[in-house]
Amino acid sequence: MYIPFLIIISILSFFSIWETISKWIIKHKKIVSETILILAFLSLFLILTPFTIKESWEIAIWLLWIILWLPILSKVFLLNIPQKLMLFRKEIGIWMWMLSIVHTTLYFKVVSFNTLFSTDFWFLNGTITFLTWWMLAFVIAIILTFTSNNISMKLLWKKWKYLHRTAYLLLIFALLHVAFLKISNEWIIVFITTFIPFIIYFILKILEWKNIKIPTWIK
């Protein structure tokens, strides 16, 4: 599975296609930004398709991963395309939030909204439920989305940066939501697909904080 992927990356790197893509992104920055925003708002139409409740959340988590991995890929691995995509983290964040809205709306279409005020929604058998982690992640997503603008940056100033570091909490809560949802019968899969990637991410994040570079053959 990974060998064809590495072959494709090597071919693209050899012919400097990454550099061409990077230049195109910068040249058409406005088009890329508007395209992401259009996709974000079009995502709301998924509310009309109840069978996308799982997919909407999974895509939202992937978009969150992209937002959080871009600094590592650009600052630690010195990759050109992630450096350019850093310009669109706000737009990707809005897209993630739209999908979170879809997921939340579809859930409450199946289950009454009044369940939100039930103790069993938050705690069950003395344990925090997967729904609790989901709501915590959703609230943080709302806060980050509504403060992802220049006005909020000016008003909050240094506090804005600290506020948006709660994106790490958002990731943790989102992963815990998935883990608590599946851990009863798929704990091995959950560990491999959820916790190992987070451990790898945290290790590489430390390298970013320490300004350690790991140059690759990909540019």
Contacts by residues 82-86 (CB-CB < 8 Å, ≥ 24 positions apart): 83/22, 84/22, 84/25, 84/26, 85/25
What per-residue confidence (pLDDT) applies to 156? Answer: 84
pLDDT tens digits, one per residue of 155-187: 888 788 888 888 888 888 888 887 777 655 566
What per-residue confidence (pLDDT) applies to 5? Answer: 45
pLDDT tens digits, one per residue of 68-110: 888 988 888 887 888 888 899 889 988 998 998 898 888 888 8
Q: Is the dihedral of CA 71, 199, 193, 46 positive or negative?
A: negative
Domain ranges, ordered by start, for the chain: 2-209
Band (pLDDT 50/70/90 cuts) for residue 3 is very low
Token pair recorded at residue 110: 């199946």
Name residue 128's beta-bridge partners.
123
Token pair recorded at residue 21: 């893509």
pLDDT tens digits, one per residue of 9-51: 555 555 566 677 778 888 889 999 999 999 999 999 999 888 8
What per-residue confidence (pLDDT) applies to 10? Answer: 55
Band (pLDDT 50/70/90 cuts) for residue 2 is very low
Tell me the Ramachandran region of residue 159: left when phi exceeds 0, alpha when psi lies from -120 to 50, beta otherwise: alpha
What per-residue confidence (pLDDT) applies to 6? Answer: 47
Alpha-carbon distance of 4 to 22, in angstroms, equals 23
